[in-house]
A and B are shown apart, each in its own frame.
Chain A
């Protein structure tokens, strides 16, 4: 049986760990609120953007624009959004699993990491890495998304990559986060609406030129949306993980208290027995 002092020391260390997890939970709750607000605000913009692109492409019919068909390169660019920090439950590893368990050839992929957790893992696994944008995920700005989309579109235009994917964590609500993979280019949009719902739209300049100009904006908004949703998910995941850790610590502390009291009691009993035995020996 462990000595009283050992048990006391363990209890102390669990208690200080619990303080840390409690504090982290509070911090991520606050951050989650902020990130959630941003994710919701960006939704309006994205929905308008999506409607326009859908109506544009459905009207464009069979226009032969490079953005709409794959070029000959077999390589795929994958933008992987993870966090810069751990201790968020399965948040980072779910994303990594989603990329790794896809039946893609490792040699065909170029990873564009946003978030150092994903970057380090894929670098260690020997994937080819593109430009790194990890610092962007701390505080996602639209300007960051513009920079990233410019880079990947350039690689697409020069034929370095033939397809562009983005892997991120979709934020459904505080407890549900869905690792998601989305194909950015070539664009394939299914129009589920009937013909009557579609707004009749004319374009100025011509549709082809408009595609050339609007698609990059659409990609940028997708990347930005993915970034803000991922940040919200990361903080949600961390909040949950830290909540679990705190309640686990509570459990350990209560079982250690029990052990400690038992040990104390048996020590007292033993001491008493010894004193009584000693007194009897004298008399």
Chain B
């Protein structure tokens, strides 16, 4: 692979990742995208999903839940509100959260905050999928 770019992932309480990478893939509000070096400048909003970082032959995964991404040709900055490596995920808890969210969506009472329940469901699914990639 020819060109590498600088990938920085920051969260409010730590610098999650700061290395060179060949490609990064993630889920946005407009669908999944993969970015190589030399991309046109773009800012996208993150939807819960799996983040895949490719560095040469190694591939790393993380569960990325919320935030936004600033893409510049040689530099990509991910401002993540919530992001976790698979090893940090508590799978049992994610499963429980998934069931809770599904239950809330199934009832659909007047008091149900559908958008929030859906977001919770998407988050838990992303967590479970990422945990499986350990």
Picked from A142, A200, A210, A213, the residue with its CB within 8 Å of the CB of B41 is: A200
Residue pair A217, B15 in contact (C-beta under 8 Å): no
Residue pair B14, A41 in contact (C-beta under 8 Å): yes
Residue pair B45, A210 in contact (C-beta under 8 Å): yes
- Which of A83-91, A163-171, A201-209 participates in binding chain B? A201-209
- How many chain B residues sit at the interface, stated as a range, is 20 to 34
- Which of B5-13, B48-56, B88-96, B101-109 participates in binding chain A? B5-13
| A217 to B69 alpha-carbon distance, docked (Å) | 12
Closest to A150 in B: B116
Interface string of B63-90 (1 = CB under 8 A from A): 0001110101000010101100000000
* Residues of A37-69 contacting chain B, CB below 8 A: 38, 41-42, 44-46, 48-49, 52, 56
CB-CB under 8 A from A204, the residues of chain B are 28-30, 42-45
| A52 to B77 alpha-carbon distance, docked (Å) | 10
Residue pair B70, A45 in contact (C-beta under 8 Å): no
Residue pair A42, B67 in contact (C-beta under 8 Å): no
Picked from A41, A49, A146, A205, the residue with its CB within 8 Å of the CB of B13 is: A41
Residue pair B72, A205 in contact (C-beta under 8 Å): no
> Any chain A CB within 8 A of the CB of B40?
yes
Closest to B18 in A: A44
- With A214-B45, A224-B12 known as contacts, the answer to whether A142 contacts B81 (CB < 8 A) is yes
Closest to A51 in B: B70
CB-CB under 8 A from A221, the residues of chain B are 12
- With A142-B12, A142-B13 known as contacts, the answer to whether A45 contacts B79 (CB < 8 A) is yes
Shortest CB distance B102–A (Å): 22
Closest to A202 in B: B42
* Residues of A176-204 contacting chain B, CB below 8 A: 199-204
> Any chain B CB within 8 A of the CB of A18?
no
Picked from B44, B67, B77, the residue with its CB within 8 Å of the CB of A217 is: B67
- With A142-B81, A199-B41, A202-B42 known as contacts, the answer to whether A213 contacts B13 (CB < 8 A) is no
Q: Which interface residue of B10, B28, B82 has the most chain A CB atoms within 10 A?
A: B10
CB-CB under 8 A from A46, the residues of chain B are 12
Residue pair B43, A203 in contact (C-beta under 8 Å): yes
CB-CB under 8 A from A21, the residues of chain B are none
Shortest CB distance B77–A (Å): 6
| A203 to B30 alpha-carbon distance, docked (Å) | 11
Picked from B11, B12, B15, B45, the residue with its CB within 8 Å of the CB of A213 is: B45
> Any chain B CB within 8 A of the CB of A220?
yes
Shortest CB distance B32–A (Å): 13
Q: Which interface residue of A38, A49, A224 has the most chain B CB atoms within 10 A?
A: A49
- With A204-B30, A204-B42, A210-B43 known as contacts, the answer to whether A52 contacts B79 (CB < 8 A) is yes
Q: Which interface residue of B43, B77, B81, B82 has the most chain A CB atoms within 10 A?
A: B43
CB-CB under 8 A from A203, the residues of chain B are 42-44
| A89 to B30 alpha-carbon distance, docked (Å) | 52
Shortest CB distance B46–A (Å): 9
Interface residues of B (CB under 8 A from A): 10-15, 28-30, 40-45, 66-68, 70, 72, 77, 79, 81-82
Q: List 14 A-B contacts (CB under 8 A).
A: A45-B79, A46-B12, A52-B68, A146-B81, A201-B43, A204-B28, A204-B29, A204-B42, A204-B44, A210-B45, A213-B29, A213-B68, A214-B45, A217-B79
